[in-house]
Amino acid sequence: VKKDLKLAKLEVKTLEVTPQTRIPLEANQTVDLECSSTTNNVERQNQVSFSSTFFVVGARLLVRKNSGIKHWSDLV
């Protein structure tokens, strides 16, 4: 970042955030950059900017064989 912005000095401070505080802290500019597994969704895009996606994960559900649940739609 320092090189790309052609800065003589770049001060880096770390701040511990929680899932509840990370979006508000970025939105109110308490932090400039947040590095975690924050899900990029429309609601959050309305509050903060996201970089290009670089990490993708899926979800799975573990159920008993005799539960009758075969797909996510079986849960509703």
> Domain spans of the chain?
1-76
pTM of the complete model beyond 0.75:
no
pLDDT of residue 17: 94
| Fold entry, domain 1-76 | D-Maltodextrin-Binding Protein; domain 2 (3.40.190)
Q: Is 35:27 a contact under the CB 8 Å cutoff?
A: no
Which token pair is 27?
A: 């939105």
pLDDT in tens, 3-61: 999 999 999 999 999 999 999 999 999 999 998 889 999 999 999 999 988 888 888 88
CB burial class (10 A; 0-12, 13-18, 19+) of residue 54?
exposed
pLDDT at 1 over 90: no
pLDDT of residue 57: 84
pLDDT of residue 4: 94
